[in-house]
Amino acid sequence: MNEFDKNKDNENGEKEFETEKDTLNSADFSESREEGSSYEANDINKPEEKVEEQEVKAEGQEFTSEYPQTASYNRADELVRDYERVMSDGTDERVAAEKQIHENKTMTAAATADQQPAGKRGKERPSSGNPKWKGFFSLLAAGVVGSALTFVAIPHTDLLDGKYTKLEQQVEDLSSKVSSNSSSGDIKAQTTSATASESSSSSIADMVETSSKAIVGIVNVQKQATNQFSQSTTTDSEVESGSGSGIIFKKDDKYAYIATNNHVIEGANSLEISLYNGDKTEGKLIGADALTDLAVVRIDAKYATDVIEFGDSSTLRPGDQVWAIGNPLGLDLSRTVTQGIVSAVDRSITVNTSAGDWEFNVIQTDAAINPGNSGGALINAAGQVIGINSLKISEDGVEGLGFAIPSNDLLPIVNEIIESGEVERPYIGVGLASLEEVPQMYLQDLPDSVTKGVMVTNIDSNSAAAKAGLEVQDVIVSINGTDLDGSSDLRKYLYTKVDIGDKVKLVVYHDGSKKTVELTLTSNSGSSN
């Protein structure tokens, strides 16, 4: 028999019960009329019996309704609401709510037992052996059994998604917490996961520690002639001329390659490399480029435990966090870390190098950079090298002005040094000086209108300039129609606008006379221009 048929039988049973009840009430009413008014008065004075009959009827309707499982759903909703109150109220209120939940469960479990008194009260009327009452008791029994089965079965199904089990477990947990808190008035700290700031600080320290393993110290050792005891004989001794930093950026089966500044290794007779683990080894200079102030040194691969990678310096913006790692003031303070931000990008600073003036494109930062930091790494938050620390402005009252060569600018240079040992550039074959650097006595033959340009200070006899007829003290004012303000402008044009083998036209003043000279560019990385 399906649920619908059961409900239909319940409805028929209810109707049969109502009909029989009306018949009995009519019979009782007739009998009471025959007994007289004294019975009626006595009946009026018994209100408790009527209230009891109303309660029996209400309980019978609850368990014999058309959908008996509704009561269980209502009970579940009550349990959910009680649990929500437990979670939101304070300690005392949670205890009260827990008691209410227990009482609700007790009332629900007692619902079935409450039907037995109703049955007994029904037996005060005609005997159950009367056929008229058989349908009533069958209906009542079916309602009680159906409600009980529904109440017991639903918690074991997925209709309520295991709410009964979850509620019971959560109530038990809450009870244990309440008892725990009540037993001790102290609030104890709980061990939790690291906060965002702690996690960030930890990741920075990890990043710095990993990056530092690829930072080395470089000692420039040079031979120096000494006169012992003021005698005429002299001896050469090796002394430490200076120190700086470097980064291990490449490693193969035989060698590890270190990038640094040219001014760190310039003039060295030997190089001593100090590693992260304290080991020291000799470094061999592969090549250097004085104009860009870059150099590459190699060591045996077995000494290099870590390699650091380069990042994309073009993605930098003012305000980005950066860290400088190096050896300020020597190896005693090796792998010092300073923190700052990118103050500016694409700064242009003219630097007087051993190869002449050169306009550097640099990253400006307020991270502390001191003597000994040169050649060290400027790294981003990902632990990538985005620049090599090279310069700082050290004047009274000036702070936080450090500069680094961008990684995108230095990578082509160091790779070319590894491949060929030098940087190959177009070469004219002349030494240059800006007019503002030349004493006025050498400019007497120039027209008054010529105020800018570069003067030829020397000529390579085998160069293209010598073949084209250039002479010392000639003044070059333009190249391929581009005016020149100084020597750095000529170098910049040669190294960025033309290639080896190209022909260029120079406008030159010779003994006050203007002329045009055409020559073909050659290659010689050891040139002075």
Distance (Å, rounded) from C-alpha 177 to C-alpha 170? 10
Cα separation of 508 and 347, whole Å?
31
Dihedral sign for Cα 432, 433, 438, 444, please. Answer: positive
Output the six-digit token pair for 396: 């009274």
108 within domain boundaries: no
Out of 10-14, 200-204, 516-520, pick the least confident: 10-14
For the entire predicted model, the pTM comes to 0.57
**Mean of pLDDT values over 450-464:** 91
Domain boundary among 303, 333, 354: 303
Residue 151: band (very low, low, confident or very high) from pLDDT cuts 50, 70, 90 = low
Enumerate helices (H) and strands (E) in the chain, giving the number of each: 13, 20
Boundary of a domain, candidates 369, 393, 420: 420
pLDDT at 82 over 60: yes
Question: Looking at residue 309, what is its pLDDT?
Answer: 93
Does the structure show a pLDDT above 70 at 398? no
In a domain, residue 82? The reply is no
274 and 345 both lie in a single domain? no
Domain count, the chain: 3
Q: What is the pLDDT of residues 90-129, one digit of tens each?
A: 555 555 656 666 666 666 655 555 554 444 444 444 444 4
Of 72, 82, 263, 489, catalytic: 263
> What are residue 434's DSSP bridge partners?
454
Write out the E strands in 393-524. Answer: 402-406, 426-427, 430-434, 454-459, 475-479, 482-483, 503-510, 513-520, 522-523
The 10s digit of each residue's pLDDT in 58-67 is: 444 444 444 4
Is 293 among the residues known to form the active site?
Answer: yes
Tens digits of residue pLDDT in 187-215: 334 333 334 444 555 688 899 899 999 99
| Confidence class for position 41, pLDDT limits 50, 70, 90 | very low
431 in the same domain as 394: no
Q: Are residues 416 and 430 in the same domain?
A: no
State the angle between helix axes of 115-123 and 131-153 in degrees (0 to 180), rounded to the nearest 10: 180
Q: Can you tell me the distance from the alpha carbon of 311 to that of 50, in angstroms, rounded to the nearest whole number? A: 91
- Specify if 169 maps to a domain: no
Residue 263 is among the residues annotated as catalytic for this protein: yes
Q: Are residues 430 and 416 in the same domain?
A: no
Q: Say which of 289, 293, 474, 489 is annotated catalytic.
A: 293
Residue 319 and residue 416 in one domain? yes
Per-residue pLDDT, 362: 93
Quick check: 14 pLDDT over 50?
A: no
**pLDDT for the residue numbered 196:** 42
pLDDT at 10: 46
What is the model's pLDDT at position 315?
94
For residues 239 and 137, the model is more confident at 239
Same domain, 293 and 326: no
Amino acid letter for position 211: S
pLDDT tens-place string over residues 257-279: 999 999 999 999 999 999 988 89
Does residue 131 lie in a domain region? no
Q: Report which of 223, 286, 238 is spatially closest to residue 260, judged by C-alpha positions.
A: 286
Q: Name the domain boundary from 397, 420, 443.
A: 420
Supply the mean pLDDT for the chain.
Answer: 74
CATH number at residue 495: 2.30.42.10
Measured between alpha carbons, how far is 70 from 437 in angstroms, rounded to an integer? 102
pLDDT on residue 178? 46
**Are 473 and 397 members of one domain?**
no
Given this model, what pLDDT does residue 240 score?
Answer: 79
Q: Are residue 504 and residue 463 in the same domain, yes or no?
A: yes
Domain identity same for 415 and 430? no
Question: Which of 390 and 82 is assigned the larger pLDDT?
Answer: 390
pLDDT of residue 442: 87
Tell whether 321 and 413 lie within a shared domain: yes
The reported pLDDT for the residue numbered 333 is: 76
- pLDDT score of 245 more than 90: yes
Distance CA(272)–CA(280), nearest Å, equals 7
- Which one is catalytic: 211, 343, 374, 488? 374
Pick the range with the lowest mean pLDDT from 75-89, 250-264, 395-409: 75-89
Is residue 215 one of the residues assigned to a domain? yes
pLDDT at 363: 95
Q: Domain holding 247: CATH number?
A: 2.40.10.10
- Whether 221 shows a pLDDT value over 50: the answer reads yes
**Residue 321 belongs to domain spanning:** 313-420
Output the pLDDT for position 149: 61
Most confident by average pLDDT, 94-108, 171-185, 192-206, 507-521: 507-521
Average pLDDT over residues 165-192: 50
pLDDT reading at 366 higher than 60 = yes
Instruction: Give 411's Cβ-side CA count (13 Å radius).
Output: 14
Distance between CA atoms of residues 230 and 214, nearest Å: 45
Inside any domain, residue 241: yes
Q: Could you tell me if residue 201 is inside a domain? A: no
* Residue 313 and residue 409 in contact, taking contact as beta carbons nearer than 8 Å: yes
Q: In angstroms, rounded to a whole number, what is the distance separating the alpha carbons of residues 357 and 350? A: 7
Q: Average pLDDT in the 172-198 region?
A: 46
In a domain, 23, yes or no: no
pLDDT of residue 57: 44
